[in-house]
Structure 1
Amino acid sequence: MNWYVVYTKPKWEKKVAEQLTKFGVECYCPLITKVRQWSDRKKKVEVPLFNSYVFVQLSEADRNSVFQSVGVVRYLFWLGKPAIVRNEEISTIKNWLSTPEQCDVSVDAFQIGDKITLESGPFIAQEATVQEIKNTHYVLVLESMGCTLKMNFK
């Protein structure tokens, strides 16, 4: 079975994942913990890693079953077909979220445009291109995942 990306109403990611689980659909909504500040307090809240996206694993024939959930808008498409996410990419996201937040990485020897393979941290064994190097951070492009990664120095 393939992993598909479902586009949801804004701020409905967790509700959609909960509803789809009740309907028996295998789904994954990656969550991260952030500190949010209000005028009178700070609080840790779990927010989706990807706004308005939930990953669902089902067969091609069962794709319409996700529309039982009120918050589902549509599938995400790529080149005219529903976007399919590989199992390895879902595993990479899960591994990244389960690792401690501290990662020791150094890019002193790299230049902008270098192609590298990450040797530690949550994106281990992923190929990346160094896009930007600053005093406080660097930016890597993970082409296989179609995303840009900003890593801060400490």
Structure 2
Amino acid sequence: MNWYVLYVKSQTEKKTATALERMGLEVFCPTKTEVRQWSDRKKKVKVPLFKSYVFVRLSEEERQQVFVVHSVVRYLFWLGKPAVVRDEELETVKKWLADELVEEVQVRQFSPGDRVEIKGGVFKGQSAVVDQTGSRKVRLILKHLGVIVEASYRDLVS
């Protein structure tokens, strides 16, 4: 039996994995924990590590039965054949997820004109001025480089 990669409808990864498990199939849908903020609260939520993908272990003869689940779109193909994932590769993902430390992201409101330091990415260590803020990203002006960039809030230190 091999591990195959299923492409599923967007944001149905966990539901699809549950439905396939109920059918008696071996399924792997790796998830990570993220801190999400709404206007009134913060919450830790589990989100799929690979968006729109679920791994399923079955024999070649059983491959068609996954399409009973309506959110399954198709198999991922490689060189004209369904992509097969080695056990070692999935074990590596499982070990990596077991070691994952959930990083608490300190969320703070930024306003245009605030001075910040970029703590991640290509511009790590650079100072910038907030130009615009959005729900997930902030636009920054790096005056000494003469560029405007977008960054996620977690990449900033005020």
| Structure 1 residue 100 displacement after superposition | 4.1
| Structure 1 residue 101 displacement after superposition | 2.5
Unmatched segments (≥5 aa) in structure 2: 103-120, 126-154
1:85 maps onto 2:85 in alignment: yes
Spell out, residue by residue over 1:1-36, the C-alpha distance to the aligned partner (whole angstroms, 9 max, x if none): 110000000000000000000001110000100001
| Runs of at least 4 residues off by over 6 Å | none
TM alignment of 1:133-144, pairs within 5 A = 136=124
The residue aligned with 1:3 is 3
Q: Give the letter for the 2:96 counterpart.
A: W
What RMSD, in angstroms, separates the aligned Cα atoms of the two structures?
Answer: 2.0
For the residues of structure 1 that align with 2:76 and 2:20, how far apart are their CA atoms? 17
Change over 3 Å in CA distance of 1:13–1:100 after alignment to 2: closer
Q: Which has the larger radius of gyration?
A: 2
The residue aligned with 1:26 is 26
Change over 3 Å in CA distance of 1:36–1:64 after alignment to 2: same
For the residues of structure 1 that align with 2:24 and 2:100, how far apart are their CA atoms? 31
TM alignment of 1:100-139, pairs within 5 A = 100-101=100-101, 136=124
For the residues of structure 2 that align with 1:16 and 1:83, how far apart are their CA atoms? 19
**Normalised TM-score (structure 2):** 0.64
1:15 maps onto 2:3 in alignment: no
**Normalised TM-score (structure 1):** 0.66
The residue aligned with 2:151 is none
Unmatched segments (≥5 aa) in structure 1: 103-132, 138-151
| Structure 1 residue 135 displacement after superposition | 7.3
